[in-house]
Structure 1
Amino acid sequence: MTMSVELPSATTGLARSLSQTAGRPGWVRDVAAQLADVRTALLDHIRVTEGPTGRYAQLLRDAPRLAPGIHELVTEHAELIAALDDARPDDDPQRLHEAVTGLVDRLGRHRQHGADLIYEAYSIDVGGET
């Protein structure tokens, strides 16, 4: 039985795999394993954030003014899945390294975007709306 990995931890593991020498024996296998963890964690993240009972629905109820930002987060989910699909372990190590580097960057920006929206929803008073 595989334990669930949170998206930040999975992203950190993937970033750590990038610090290893691309092309060394086992590097592609290690990156592939980390990509699988990120995919599982991302799908779990999407499951708990989207939908009528997800975190984004609660955020919309509490701060409806943030609807455009929440829509962007949902759009980013589809883009992150596409970036995961683009990072294929069967590619040459240099291309894989570039694709994974881009994916790690996008995951970090997505996390920051979500944190910024939560901060804006609950830490900024806009005309009495909280």
Structure 2
Amino acid sequence: MHEITARMRAVERAVATSPGAPDWRGELADRIAELRAAFLADLGRSMRSAEATAASAPWLSTRLTMLRREQARIADDFDRLVEACAELEVETLRRHVFALLSRLARSRQLDVNLLYESVDIDLGGEQ
């Protein structure tokens, strides 16, 4: 299983645990921080493939730029969410966590889609 996927599942498990559990907020913050680290590592690899994609498929450059901006916002939101773990009301915190996980999943899917589009067209698909 891909590291980031495993970390996403760990966050999902942590947020689903009873908030009455000992140090629930601390555990959740730790899982979010681990996911952030995995995201940043994955982002580094993704940036290298994006450079290759932009070089071979310049028509995707605008979408790649938009994706990179969203990924930067996601990274910033990870930091804010870790800090907010100690302060937010439980249900609000859960909503924020699930919203961030959803944005992260969409971002990863868009990244894969853009890579696929660049390869598909290079190998004979239609533009």
What TM-score, normalized by structure 2, do the two folds share? 0.81
- After the TM superposition, list the runs of 4 or more consecutive aligned residues in structure 1 that deviate by more than 3 angstroms: none
Q: Percent identity?
A: 24
What TM-score, normalized by structure 1, do the two folds share? 0.80
Equivalent position of 1:17 in the other structure: 14
Equivalent position of 1:30 in the other structure: 27
Structure 2 portions without partners, runs of 5+: none
Equivalent position of 1:64 in the other structure: 58
1:22–1:97 contact (8 Å) kept in structure 2: no
Q: Give 2:85's match in structure 1, choosing from 89, 100, 103.
A: 89
Equivalent position of 1:45 in the other structure: 42
Structure having greater relative contact order (Cα 8 Å, sep ≥ 6)? 2
More helix by share: 2
SS of aligned partner of 2:66: helix
Q: CA RMSD in A?
A: 1.9
Letter of the 1:96 counterpart: L
Deviations along 1:41-99, one digit per CA (max 9) or x if unpaired, are 1221222233xxx1110111221111111111211111101221231221232332121
Number of equivalent positions = 120
Equivalent position of 2:126 in the other structure: 126
Measure, in 1, the Cα distance between the counterparts of 2:112 and 2:9: 17
Letter of the 1:90 counterpart: A
Structure 1 portions without partners, runs of 5+: none
Letter of the 1:78 counterpart: A
